[in-house]
Amino acid sequence: MGDIREPLRELTECGLPQALEVMGERWSFMILRASFNGLHHFEEFLSELGIARNILSNRLAKLVENGILRRDPCPDDRRKIEYRLTDKGFDLLPAMVALRQWGQKYGAEVTENPVLVDERDRLPIGPTSILSHDGRILGPQDLALVERSDLGVRADGSQADQEGSLGLGEVIDIESLRRAKSAA
Amino acid sequence: MGDIREPLRELTECGLPQALEVMGERWSFMILRASFNGLHHFEEFLSELGIARNILSNRLAKLVENGILRRDPCPDDRRKIEYRLTDKGFDLLPAMVALRQWGQKYGAEVTENPVLVDERDRLPIGPTSILSHDGRILGPQDLALVERSDLGVRADGSQADQEGSLGLGEVIDIESLRRAKSAA
DNA sequence: TACTTTAAGTTTCATGTAGCAACCTATTTT
DNA sequence: AAAATAGGTTGCTACATGAAACTTAAAGTA
């Protein structure tokens, strides 16, 4: 019943463990995707996903508990319950799309269908991207990890002297990213 | 040993199940994040993440098997093994950042540290975004799901008559998204 | 050389969680 | 009133997780 399992320890201050606490379970993202795709009812999820009844029940309850789905009893048919995404649930869209695109890129040749498109021109969306504060698309090469206290501080000529040093006030630039990228 | 568990059924053709097959397990994303942060050795992961030895061993093996990490024995100290991200692993960055940002937004007040910044100006990155093919930032309101055969076809005045109908050649626009957004 | 430590695993065993099938309860529908 | 539908719950089995002890190989140290 209660989550007795110890929560994922944070390597440092980070939202990732929190996200995984909620969405890290085996079926959570599939249910989310089904919701995005317009499924709202228990039996719909059940037959579309091929998930076990009790697990679906449990996952839906957890998603509701965590504010990702809303649980609305239907007024017209009082047997039915409508599960609908909340704003918090919608905000998982970028994460879901990014995962999906990654799976698409590296998985067995799946030609996705239906396709997620820009409504304006009905052309497929581009890759999910990390943007800078002013909207440039950033690749792994453009990213660095810095201590909060050093935000906006131009590194005074110092590359991180040793990777992984994680020293206070030290610029931890993701050197390994760059090397691996250029080496490969 | 072998993955006997039935693979996640695809609701339709979609890369998500493939991604979850690889990254959907409890510690996978935390290990990935640790890798991004410059950890490379077994005992480093072990002490930083607080994961059990056997599970770490198993997860690392799986990540290697799936081509997300490379397993390089160190030449200088032949006890040591270096686990390093492959390009395929780096490509999970948007998904990881999106998840992390979501956790950040909705989780308990965590002030993340270290911060992921744009190297050019050392200012924090913006939100991970879904872009159109020509680079516009798309919100949930701008997205629609269409059948592959209808790509680029201007919907002839037809909104999807009933959500969730999923009919062939039918425009499945994510009406529910729009309604929920505007209603909330 | 022997003695200890470190790195990266494996094994064992208790516990937790997933999945299947059957059952249950309240509503419709016929 | 009987049957079907929607959304669950319960009991059981198999698999996954986690803590602690054990293993193996290589390095450091007296």
User: In this predicted structure, what is the pLDDT of residue A183?
Assistant: 38
Per the structure, the residues numbered 137 to 176 in protein chain A that have their CB within 7 angstroms of any atom of strand C are none
Residue in B139, B26, B168, B125 with CA at minimum distance from that of residue A87: B139
Residue A175 — φ and ψ, nearest 5°? -55, -40
Which pLDDT tens digit goes with each residue over B118-162?
999 999 999 999 999 999 999 888 988 888 888 876 554 443 333
> What tens digit of pLDDT does each residue of A90-107 get?
999 999 999 999 999 998
Strand C–CB B53 distance below 7 A: yes
The answer to whether residue A136 scores a pLDDT higher than 90 is yes
- Residues in chain B with pLDDT values less than 70: 1-12, 153-184
CB contact under 8 A, A164 and B38: yes
Specify the pLDDT at position A160. 36
Lowest mean pLDDT among A25-29, A85-89, A113-117, B109-113: B109-113
Q: Spell A35-66 as b/e; 16+ CB within 10 A means b.
A: bbbbbbebeebeebbebeeeebeebbebbeeb
Model confidence at A173, in pLDDT bands (50, 70, 90)?
A: very low
Interface probe for B, chosen from A130, A165, A171 (most Cβ of B below 10 Å), is A130
Check whether residue B85 has its CB closer than 7 Å to nucleic acid strand C: no
Q: Is residue A48 predicted with pLDDT exceeding 80?
A: yes
Q: Are B85 and B66 in contact, with CB atoms under 8 Å apart? A: no
The pLDDT score that the predictor gives to residue A145 is 86
Question: CA distances (Å), A6 to each of A22, A91, B28, B102, B173, in order?
Answer: 13, 26, 16, 21, 40
Question: Taking residues A38-42, what's their average pLDDT?
Answer: 95
Residue type, A93: L
pLDDT, residue A63, reads 97
CB atoms within 10 A of CB B48: 19
For tokens 């002013």, the residue is: A134
Tokens (6 digits) for B171: 């425009």
Find the residue closest to D8 using CA and C1' atoms: A57
> Would you call A113 and B147 a contact, using CB atoms and an 8 Å cutoff?
yes
Domains, chain A, ordered by start: 16-90 (1.10.10.10), 129-184 (no CATH)
* pLDDT in the model for residue A1: 34
Residues A39 and A85: their CA atoms lie apart, in Å, by 10
Q: Is A173 on the interface with B (CB under 8 A)?
A: yes
Calpha distance B98→A94 (Å, rounded)? 6
CA gap A18, A46 in Å, rounded: 27
Q: Which residue gives the smallest C-alpha to C1' distance to D27?
A: B77
Other residues' Cβ atoms within 10 Å of the Cβ of residue B69: 24
Q: Find how far residue B109's CA is from the centre of its chain.
A: 22
Contact between the CB of A5 and strand C at under 7 Å: yes
The pLDDT, as a whole number, for residue A153 is 64
Task: Return the closest-CA partner of residue A140 out of A94, A106, A175.
Answer: A175
Tell whether B50 lies on the interface with A, counting CB pairs under 8 A: yes
CB-closest option in A23, A114, A180 to B172: A114
User: What is the tens place of the pLDDT at every residue in A137-165?
Assistant: 998 889 988 888 888 765 544 433 333 33
pLDDT at site B14? 85
| DSSP secondary structure, A6-19, as one string | PPPPPSSB-SHHHH
Nucleotide closest to B4 measured between CA and C1': D15
What is the structure's pLDDT at B165? 29
Instruction: Please give the pLDDT value at position A112.
Output: 83
Q: At what angle do helices A16-23 and B93-106 cross, to 10 degrees?
A: 90
